[in-house]
Each structure stands twice: as C-alpha cells, then as structure tokens.
C-alpha cells in the first residue's frame, strides 16, 4: 500500500500566500489514511540565506534532512517510527507520496528515489519551470529552483551525483509561464517540455518515457498545473492550464509505462482552512491517480 509523508514546508515559496501552504498540507493530511501517514516537523522560523542567494536556506536544509530521515526509516520497515533504518533491499520498498508545502519538498524525495533506482525518470507537472539558479532567480525562492536542483548541484541538491537525475530522463509537463533564463535552461540541459495542448493526449509523454531507458519514475505535481477554473487554492495561479481529466489521465498513462518509485504533491494554499474543502475533491482525485 502507498504511504504518505506530509511536509508543511513554506519557506521555499516566493508567494505572499506562502504560509497558507501549511494549511493546505494539513488539509490534505486530514483526508489521508492515518495509519499510513506521518508528518515531518518543519522549522517554524523563516531561516537565513547563509550567503547562498537562496532565501530561508537554513530552515530548508533542516526540513530536507528531516524528510530524508523519515524516508529512510519508512524504506526499512514501512513505518517512519522504526528504530533500524537499514532495509534489506530499498528498491523493493513501497512508494511514498510526499505532500507539501512548496515544490522544494520534491527535491529530497527525488534524490531518495534516484539513489535507489539508477535509471530514474522524473515527470514534473507544473505551471512554472522551476529552473532558476540562485544567480538567475528574481526572488531567491528555492521553489523556483527545485527542478534545476534535481539535475544539477545546488545548495539543496543531492550531496552526490547518485541522487540526481540525468536531464534526458526528465519531462517538464504543463508549464506555461517560463522566464527567459528558464527557457535557456531547457535548451542547455535537454529537459523535455510538453505544453498543455501536448498533454490532451498522453501519447507524447508516454513516448518520451518509453524511449528514455528509465526503469522507474517519480511523478511530481504542483497543483498550479491545473487550470484556475479547476482549483482555486494555489499560490501562483496561471491561466490556460490542464483539466483535471487530462492531468489524471496523464498520471495514469505514466504509470502504465514505468513503475512508480515515489511521488510528490505541492502548491495547495487555500485562502483559509475552511476554504480548503472546496478543492479537496479535486486534490484527492490526483492523489488517487498517484496511489
């Protein structure tokens, strides 16, 4: 059975609604099976940049390490509370869905999967590119660098290349708001990009994965990949996004091609805890497709 790790991290977000990501993560957690769900404590403080150009880095590093420890323990026994985090064969562990928070939670989750699957693919559903570096980012927010950190060494990337993913096995899906440095990064890295229209039929996505040589996949979903008419509680809505049926269909198509090594969901920032209920039905359909 799928397990869930909830990480209500907000420090990586550039949005004025960043703190509402905490409410969003907790609202999703309330509808997950309690015995299969654990919560990672996130520092309450904003944190310091540590002269890196990444805002709130010190708190992000603490959350990253706590999530990594939780994933190691869950691999070992199926329970994050176990004493011995040494699995006999971590590749056989059940997949974990990490629920954020901002998109930065996906980086340690993907590094964890990449260290266990030599030929991991990543499908990154997002309205934005998340391909900045500390030098190019206009905000210094790590969520806008998260996909770049999956493929290149940044301060929050995996400590060694074994935890990073080759760009030729990465697909950015549904992005429609890309800054010039992010467009340049797509060309430089070779990361594949499929727009919203390309995902109306999942055939192009399936073909990319089938030809990648990958043996497993991590699926990341920033909920702003959906059209604002489908979901209201996101930090940075972008018009002309995916329909819920197209997103769910694409996820299911990916899972017919490759086994799921793990998944992550981010970006739920409801206007208030009470308003979260309006979007939970949509989100739970996405969770169901992943699980």
Asked whether 182 and 87 are in contact (CB, 8 A), the reply is no
Q: Are residues 222 and 267 in contact, defined by beta-carbon separation less than 8 angstroms?
A: yes
- Beta carbons within 8 Å of 18's beta carbon, 6+ residues apart: 10, 11, 102, 235, 269
Q: What is the C-alpha to C-alpha distance for residues 17 and 116, in angstroms, rounded to an integer? A: 35
pLDDT of residue 173: 98
* pLDDT, position 116: 93
pLDDT digits (tens, 9 = 90+) for 18-27: 999 999 999 9
131: its two tokens: 């391909």
* Whether the predicted pLDDT of 82 surpasses 80: no
Which pLDDT does position 159 carry in this prediction?
A: 83
Nearest by Cα to 236 from 222, 215, 257, 246: 222
The Cα–Cα gap between 24 and 210 comes to 34
* Type and span of the H or E element at 244: helix 244-257
Regarding predicted confidence, which is higher, 74 or 152?
152
Q: How far apart, in Å, are the Cα atoms of 125 and each of 52, 63, 254, 263?
A: 27, 22, 12, 11
Q: Provide the percentage of residues in the chain whose pLDDT is more than 70.
A: 94
Residues 109/149/43/175 CA torsion (nearest 10 deg): -80
pLDDT above 90 covers a percentage of the chain that reads 88
pLDDT at 93: 67
- The predicted structure's pLDDT at residue 87: 47
Tell me what the pLDDT averaged over the chain comes to.
Answer: 93
Band of the pLDDT at 143, cuts 50, 70, 90? Answer: very high
Q: How far is CA 154 from CA 2, 53, 90, 168, 222, in A?
A: 30, 11, 26, 19, 21
Q: What is the pLDDT of residue 78?
A: 57
Q: Which pTM does this prediction carry?
A: 0.94
Residue-wise pLDDT tens digits, 204-244: 999 999 999 999 999 999 999 999 999 999 989 999 999 99
| 8 A C-beta contact, residue 266 and residue 102 | yes
**Rounded CA Rg of the chain:** 17
| 155-208 tens-digit pLDDT | 999 988 889 999 999 999 999 999 999 999 999 999 999 999 999 999 999 999
pLDDT recorded at residue 285: 98
pLDDT in tens, 84-139: 444 445 555 689 999 999 999 999 999 999 999 999 999 999 999 999 999 999 99
Burial pattern 65-84, b for ≥16 Cβ within 10 A else e, equals ebbbebbbbbbbeeebeeee
The more confidently predicted of residues 240 and 74 is 240
**What would the two tokens of residue 242 be?**
């995916």
């Amino acid at each position: 059975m799928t397990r869930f790790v909830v990480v209500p991290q907000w420090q990586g977000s550039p949005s004025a609604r960043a703190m509402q990501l905490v409410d969003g993560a907790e609202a999703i957690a309330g509808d997950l099976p309690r015995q299969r769900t654990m919560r990672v404590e996130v520092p309450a403080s904003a944190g310091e940049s540590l002269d890196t150009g990444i805002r709130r880095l010190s708190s992000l590093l603490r959350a990253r390490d706590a999530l990594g420890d939780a994933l190691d323990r869950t691999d070992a026994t199926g329970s994050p509370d176990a004493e011995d985090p040494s699995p006999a064969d971590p590749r056989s562990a059940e997949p974990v869905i990490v629920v954020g928070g901002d998109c930065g939670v996906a980086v340690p989750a993907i590094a964890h999967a990449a260290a266990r699957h030599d030929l991991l693919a990543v499908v990154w559903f997002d309205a934005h590119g998340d391909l900045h570096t500390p030098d190019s980012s206009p905000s210094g927010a790590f969520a806008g660098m998260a996909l770049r950190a999956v493929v290149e060494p940044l301060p929050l990337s995996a400590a060694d290349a074994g935890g990073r993913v080759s760009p030729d096995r990465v697909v950015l899906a549904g992005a429609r708001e890309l800054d010039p440095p992010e467009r340049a990064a797509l060309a430089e890295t070779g990361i594949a990009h499929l727009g919203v229209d390309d995902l109306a039929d999942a055939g192009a996505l399936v073909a990319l994965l089938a030809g990648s040589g990958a043996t497993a996949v991590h699926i990341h979903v920033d909920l702003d990949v959906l059209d604002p008419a489908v979901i209201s509680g996101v930090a940075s809505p972008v018009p002309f996004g995916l329909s819920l049926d197209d997103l769910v269909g694409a996820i299911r198509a990916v899972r017919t091609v490759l086994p799921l090594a793990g998944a992550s969901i981010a970006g739920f920032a409801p206007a208030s805890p009470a308003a979260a209920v309006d979007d939970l039905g949509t989100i739970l359909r996405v969770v169901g497709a992943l699980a």
